[in-house]
Amino acid sequence: MDNLASRKPNIEEIYKLYADMLYRVALSELQSDMDAQDAVQDVFIKYMSHNPVFKDSEHEKAWFLRVTVNRCHDMLRSRKVRLKFHSESETEPVNPASKARQELFEVLASIPEKYKSTVILHCLEGLSLQETADVLGITLSGAKMRLKRARDILKEEKNV
């Protein structure tokens, strides 16, 4: 048992390895700095409490991305429910550091969630289409179709 424990990286190493990437994904999904930080924190709490075992580093990375995307979707659903009962959102929008960042958020906000996740993972995080499909739990052709539809939506909006 000591051999397995000595080979498994500690939480600080795991955090250093994945935190920035998970934060970027969460920020792209949620468009709120505080919510993105909360989502990443929730993912690491889940990791520590469940202590999952991974086949390899790619499986580990896919697990962290999938849990992050799922947590963001849960938070967005919760936000929509809250907005039905409150006239104003309780979350503050991100104060973008640049005009390009603001434009990116506006573009991402204009496409449906399932397409947004595909774009974020493939285009922004650089995952291959197969890795994107694995993280999202869909087929390779499903990932390709979602990416195509996202691009079509964006082209249509640009022409309008």
Phi-psi region of 113 (alpha: psi -120 to 50; beta: other; left: phi over 0): alpha
Return the higher-pLDDT residue of 34 and 94.
Answer: 34
Among 49-63, 73-87, 100-114, the range with the most confident prediction by mean pLDDT is: 49-63
Return the higher-pLDDT residue of 71 and 157.
Answer: 71
Main-chain dihedrals φ then ψ at residue 99, nearest 5 degrees: -65, -35
Number of domain units in the chain:
2
Q: Are residues 88 and 101 in the same domain?
A: no
Q: What confidence tier does 86 reach under pLDDT thresholds 50, 70, 90?
A: very low
For residue 147, give the CATH number of its domain.
Answer: 1.10.10.10
Q: How far is Cα 156 from Cα 160, in angstroms, rounded to an integer?
A: 6
Q: Are residues 107 and 159 in the same domain?
A: yes
Task: With H, G, I as helix, E, B as strand and everything else as coil, classify residue 47.
Answer: helix
Q: What is the pTM of this model?
A: 0.65
Per-residue model confidence as pLDDT tens digits over 143-158: 999 999 988 888 887 7
Which of 16-25, 63-72, 85-94, 118-127 comes out lowest in average pLDDT? 85-94
For residue 82, give the CATH number of its domain.
Answer: 1.10.1740
Degrees, nearest 5: CA angle 99-80-30:
35
Average pLDDT, the chain: 81
Is the pLDDT at 114 greater than 70, yes or no? yes
Q: Are residues 48 and 107 in the same domain?
A: no
